[in-house]
Chains A and B, each alone.
Chain A
Amino acid sequence: MILAFQLAYRNLMGAGLRTWLNAAVLSFAFVVILFFNGLLDGWNQQAKRDNIEWEYGKGQLIHTDYDPFDPFSVQDGHGILPTSAKENLVPILIRQASVYPEGRMLSISLKGIEVPQEILGLPTDLLENSKADIPTIIGKRMATSANLKVNDELLLRWRDKNGTFDAKNVTIVGIFDSNVPTIDNGQFWIPIKKLWEMTGMEGHATMFISEADQPVDVPGWNFRSQEDLLRELSEIIEMKKASSSIMYILLLAIALLAIFDTQVLSIFRRQKEIGTYISLGMTRQQVVGLFTVEGGMYSIFAMVLGCAYGIPLLLYLSATGIGIPEASQNMGVSLADRIYPVYGIVLILGTIALVVISATIVSYLPARKIAKMDPVNAIKGKLQ
């Protein structure tokens, strides 16, 4: 086997430009696969971090009647949690409301949150320190879509404890910049005590954000762990990975086709050489092995070449990040304005294994023909 590597190395180096062209194509596929997977892994890590920091905390205790994907459940999906179970929990009450920026009506989710709190990244201290009657903070997306800025006042309409509409001005005391659209789009955050006062729902909450890892078991409430909450996000990113893999599978296929082609041509053109190997005492299987290793070695060369330009390029991209267009940040999933690719050891080793194994397989397929060659005709270079 060592001999096959020695000989394959000599043969490939001797073949010159042909070797490096194949290696270059394969190295491009190698670097692109690493880059795209690194980008998605970077997005995944960043999105998870942002979601934990801004929305999930260590878990959520959600009222059983509330379904985050069903806006009609907001009306009845709330309750009071026994005081004994409230430790390490930050309550959030959600109500439906309307605001009227510049005379237009916008339906919003009015979210009351305990002030102060430190579990989520929301700048709730702005709410605590404000002297406005109804202070509110909103996200940058909400601010942009409604053309709002800090210190703007606008009319808020909600239903009071009797179910009749009430209306008052709210003051924007802060605009936060978060990568998590689900705490931003169409949402106004106010102190929960103010919301209780406005709605007469003293002590009620739709959900609680947990500060501790321990699940909370209270009848009428469902505890969703951090892992459970992040699963949907991971699934979205895995789906994205699967769809992107089509692109780099195509790229890899082109590179492998080049190797396959080279191997077929090599075996066709190097019949005299194959015959000579056999006459010198190599078995046919050894020659098959030599040609297979030669093909597989393209992947090693591709890696060397890929490292030469890929390492500086990928390190640069992981340091500077990839800018994401603003329009993409309104897709409904956490997406930062810059994504920093992350290249894990599993990703690197997995990509190396994928490229080496696939290159070796496509090299072996045409090389099998050697085992059936007549050495006498091969020595003479006769077509077989």
Chain B
Amino acid sequence: MKTDIIVSLENVTKKFKDGDGEFTALKNINLQFGKGEFAGLVGPSGSGKTTLLNIIGSLDSPTEGNAFVMEKNIAGLSHKASALLRNKHIGFIFQVYNLLPVYTVFENVEFALLLQDYNTSERKKMVMEALEWVGLQNMPDKKPAKLSGGEGQRVAIARAMVKRPEILIADEPTANLDANNAHVILQMMKKLNKELDTTFLFSTHDEKVMEYLERIVHLEDGKVVKDEIRTKVVAS
């Protein structure tokens, strides 16, 4: 495990209202992730993988405990501060890509930069570079509806990576892809992980993803049951 800690979870508990009662999705989670890690949260449905990723991504906050991301405690962040954290430091990749349908490939990738202070030529350069990373530099004007599943997810990767975030959160990124596309996507991610030293955090129960993960945190019923460092993984 790397020593440069950028995510630190201390006794993180998350409870949701469930009718008149409460449902505890995460129970006293203590975890740390370092810079440049390629790690995954693995477990059956309802184990708390996505909830934990949402907290790390500052889309949600813990009910109890502290979640430090880039030295900011998610538990005490205002909407504005958490938006700024996501804007500057965190990229997201979703299962169904979540591309903005009326924008072209270029505009989808550019969107993340529009929220920051880049001028037009800087944005263009960065977007084209990101599209080159994922091999889509020849189709910047295509609309998402015209893309295949694999291409769509590659655009999502470019969008998440274009601002060069420290953390990239990928929630079941290969669930909608066939095996071949899944491997292409994972190799791409692994390559970016090495080249840009970005921390990749996955939520998955896909065996193909697990082959690439250098660290697997097993969750069950909202608890960490195993934290495994792996040495034999598929290289980029």
Contact = CB atoms under 8 A, between A and B. Distances in A.
Q: Which range holds the interface residue count of chain A?
A: 20 to 34
B59 A281 contact: no
Given A10-B102, A283-B80, 10 more contacts: A11-B102, A15-B102, A272-B98, A273-B101, A280-B87, A283-B79, A284-B79, A285-B79, A285-B80, A286-B83
A281 B162 CA distance: 13
Given A273-B100, A375-B59, A376-B54, A280 B94 contact: no
A273 B101 CA distance: 9
7 contacts: A276-B94, A278-B59, A278-B86, A281-B84, A281-B87, A376-B54, A376-B59
B107 interface: yes
Contact of B98 (A14, A276, A376): A276
A282 interface: yes
Interface of A: 3, 6-7, 10-11, 13-15, 272-273, 275-276, 278-286, 375-376, 379
B112 A280 contact: yes
A281 B115 contact: yes
B114 interface: yes
Contacts of B96: 272
B38 interface: no
B88 interface: yes
Contacts of B107: 10
Interface in B117-176: 159
A368 B88 CA distance: 26
B159 to A, nearest CB: 8
Interface residues of B, number: 25
Given A283-B79, A284-B79, A376-B60, A14 B102 contact: yes
B86 to A, nearest CB: 5
Contacts of B57: 279
B41 to A, nearest CB: 15
A15 B80 CA distance: 29
A14 B108 CA distance: 13
Most chain-B Cβ atoms within 10 A of its Cβ — which of A10, A276, A281, A284? Answer: A281
Interface in B185-227: none
